[in-house]
Every structure is written in structure tokens, then in C-alpha cells.
Amino acid sequence: MNTVVSTDQPGLIDQFGRRIDYVRLSVTDRCDLRCSYCMPEGFKGFEEPEHWLNFDEIERLIGAFARLGVRRIRLTGGEPLLRRNIAGLAGRIATLPGIEDLSLSTNATQLDKHAEALKAAGVTRLNVSLDSLQQARVERINGRDVLARVMTGLAAAQDAGFAPIKLNMVALRGTNDDEIDEMVAFCMERGFVLRLIEAMPMGDTGRNAEYLDLQPVKERLRTQFGLVETALSGGGPARYLGTPDGHFNVGFITPISQHFCETCNRIRIAVDGTAYMCLGQEEKFEFRPLLREACSDAELEAAILHAIDLKPERHEFREAPHKILRFMSMTGG
């Protein structure tokens, strides 16, 4: 089946009938942390800055995606707040016709300096990585003692009016799995949405992570806290449970134990303009050459249609865990 754009409901439809309306855009592959499941200490394989898409190129590319039906954009990295004038870029994307939701994923170490500007620029939602509430564990998992800075960033984000804020916790067997209840209580008290994530076997770091099956955790939390199914969503893969009064929600991102490939609505664009169709496969398309050769809008849109046609049916994290050599930070979070 060929990729088509529906005439009665505009959008990108891949060859498996999935509507692609969500782009995760990496604005840098740099990060100030070295999380054990993401980027190894001493990693030097960063993209050369001259290969990064500049803001004009990003705006043009995202504008083309928006004309073809993409409605959600998430700014990622690496750590996106390390990209100079990130709020300026956010403002340019937020005003593009067709973009309805602009969000950002961050480790929050720089968030106190950027929260107000991001909110004013049009960022509507934040996801913050926080794998532990214990200082020593944060240092061991993230490679830096940054817990106090993250807490300061979270407070600044709430003061700036971001709500709800989602906290992403990669659940690691034998490392922080005994802290899940404490994280639930913390999020309940502070008004955060918690999202528990299974580690993915990407690069040596991901394969060496202590994978934890979240299905038993989900059922235990359901019973322990009286949680029920909820329709809360942010356009991503999380399946949510919440308290009946709606005060607290917890999402489960389970690429291994219960994959969500049949409903996948997203692609990732790396900082160099390479679009990755799936985290667990190698299909990709490079937009930078087209953009730097002054392609026409029609050529750019045709390239997007071709890229979407490359999207595979599903990943093979279970069947081929050693398949993907690139690290998560190289793909975009």
C-alpha cells in the first residue's frame, strides 16, 4: 500500500494505515548528564554543529510536516535546553499553521532559567526525567549529582504555569524499582503525572540496563491505590491509570512487555535532519541535503511522503535486542 494523503481528513497515512501526526524533534545530541541507559560516560561521537539543522531549516521542515497533517511537535535531545535560544525556536514552531501542541522533554537541570520563556513562547507541556528521589541514586543513574537542580527546575516550571507536568521514571530492576511507591506518593503530593518506562535495548547502554517488566507493577499499583483506566493522553504511547477523582495519573510505556506499534503515530528527527521511522529499526531518511540544496516545497513534501512510506510495521526489541547500535541520544528522545 502506498502512502496517501486523505482528502476528507488531511494527514500522513503510512503503509499500515496508521496516521502519523506527531514528530519528536531533537535540537541537540549534547547532554549535561550521562544516564546509564542512554549515553555512556566518555562518549565522544557527537554530531558536528555544522551538520545541525539551523532554525530556518527546522521551521521550514516542520512547516512542511504541518501542511501534511502533523499536529504535535515535541522538542527533545540530548538535552534540548542546551540549544542556544531554544525559546526562540519554540516560538517559531508554535506559530506555524497547523501545529496544535508543542511540548518539550528535559532533564530539568537548566529548567529554572528557561521555564518562563518557554511558556511565553508557546510550549504547552513538559516531560521531566527523574529516575529517583535519592541523591546517591540520581548521581549513580545520571552520572551527576543534580537532584537539587532538578527540584529547582520543577518548582520554576510550576511557577511558570505548566500543568500538569509529567515525570518520566525509567524503571530499572535492582536499581530504583523499590522506589516506585515513593515516586507515586511524591507525584500525588506535588500534582505531577508519573510515567513509568521500560528500558529499551538501544546501544550498549540500553542493553546493559536492568530491564523491568512493568505489567506486574501496573497491576500492583492498580490494586494498591485503587486506580482505574483513564483516557489521559499526550499523543504518545503511554497507557494510563488514575485515581477515580482524577487527582493523580500514572502512565506505563511498555515497548517490551506490551508494545504499542499498531498505534504508533510518530517519527523522530535527529539534530542533523535524519528522520528515524522507528526506534527499533534502521529505516531512515535524511532531510538535510534537500534543505541545503534549496529544494522546492513540493519536493520537500514529496520527500516526507516517501519517508513515511519507509516506516516499518513494528520494532524487534524482543526478537533482536542487539540490532540497534545507536544510542538513544543519537536518535532523539
Which strand ranges, in their side-by-side order, compose the sheet holding 12-13?
A: 4-5, 12-13, 19-20
The set of cell numbers assigned to 224 is: 494498591
Measured CA to CA, the distance from residue 167 to residue 180 in angstroms comes to 12
Q: What is the pLDDT along the chain (333 residues), one digit of tens a residue?
A: 334 333 344 589 999 999 999 999 999 999 999 888 887 667 777 899 999 999 999 999 999 999 999 999 999 999 999 999 999 999 999 999 999 999 999 999 999 999 999 999 999 999 999 999 999 999 999 999 999 999 999 999 999 999 999 999 999 999 999 999 999 999 999 999 999 999 876 444 444 558 899 999 999 999 999 999 998 776 778 899 999 999 999 999 988 887 778 889 999 999 999 999 988 778 899 999 999 999 999 999 999 999 999 999 876 555 545 555 545 556 666
The set of cell numbers assigned to 26 is: 531533537
Sign of CA dihedral 255, 232, 130, 326: positive
pTM score, two decimals? Answer: 0.89
Q: What domains are defined for the chain?
A: 4-331 (3.20.20.70)
Q: Write down the H helix ranges in the chain.
A: 55-67, 86-94, 111-121, 135-142, 147-159, 180-190, 203-208, 214-225, 288-292, 297-309, 328-331
Measured CA to CA, the distance from residue 306 to residue 2 in angstroms comes to 9
SS3 for 53? coil
